[in-house]
Amino acid sequence: MTIPWSADGVALVVAALLIGVSKGGLGGPLPPVLATLLLSQRSNVATAVAVATPMLMTGDVFALYTYWRRWDSRLVRAVLPAGVIGVAVGLFLLRGLPDRTLRVGLGLAGLIVVLYKVHSHWRGGTTERARPWHGPLAGLLAGTSSAMLNAGGPPIAAYLLMQRITPTVFVGTSTLFFAVINLLKLPGSLAAGVVSAGSLLWSLTVCPLVAIGVYVGRRFVLWVDPALFDRLMTIILITACVWLIITAYI
């Protein structure tokens, strides 16, 4: 990336706002994916993922403050260990797979998880009795896809949508999970050599803008109806996955 007021700079500003909105609870996994895709137009996917990570970490600070202790510790324990393994797997794959393969593969994997959730709902299954292997699988997919394309939202959101939890607990649990995941991704990306120190510095200059997006997202979650929230999240999940696949061929 070059200078902050070029097209690169505009991409950084928009990405910071999108990530902030997501960390505040508005739009779920879609804004980080869009932010990464936007940055990837100015660089390769590996660099775009790494550059977006400081913004995600900044959003995590605000989101953790807002949703402090509003997560479900049982659900966090179910997904986090496998998520850590997923980060290592994702960083390994990130170094060797081409952009098209990354986008198509992640899009298809996300759609499979979403379709599983929809299928379970139509069958009338009780969400509070989700099977034990659901959590580790969601954590592994989320950690891997987050490290590869900042697209870890769909697996975790699909898993949480199978639980009987409020929108606030939904966002709080997701926030804690990704705060840990993002904390692990940055040193991993530096060690893998997929990003330069200069690019990370430009990313840091726009991190304060993340706070604006967090506030906007937080106001939305406070008044949204739980049933509407569930439907909206499902639609956004599908949209995010389809968007990943489409952009692989544009």
Structural domains of the chain, count: 1
Rg (CA), the chain: 17
Question: In one letter, which amino acid is 215?
Answer: Y
Cα torsion 34, 36, 42, 47 to 10°: value is -170
pLDDT at 233 over 60: yes
Q: Give domain status of residue 68, yes or no.
A: yes
User: Quick check: is 1 in a domain?
Assistant: no
Q: What is the pLDDT of residue 40?
A: 75
Residue 218: inside a domain:
yes
Angstrom distance (rounded) from CA 184 to CA 152? 14
- For residue 206, being part of any structural domain is answered with yes
Among residues 91, 73, 71, 77, which one has the least CA distance to residue 152?
Answer: 91
For residue 201, give its domain range: 7-247
Average pLDDT for 87-98: 86
* pLDDT tens digits, 10-50: 888 888 888 888 777 666 666 777 788 778 776 777 788 88
Handedness of CA 123, 126, 127, 130 (dihedral sign): negative
Residues 49-89 have pLDDT tens digits of: 888 889 999 988 988 888 899 999 999 999 999 999 999 99
In a domain, 2, yes or no: no
**8 Å CB contact between 195 and 47:** yes
Note whether residue 128 is domain-resident. yes
Query: How many angstroms separate the CA atoms of 244 and 238, rounded?
Result: 10
Give percent above pLDDT 70 in the chain.
Answer: 81
Residue 148 inside a domain? The answer is yes
CB 26 within 8 A of CB 217: yes
Q: What single letter denotes the amino acid at residue 15?
A: A
| Identity of the residue numbered 204 | L
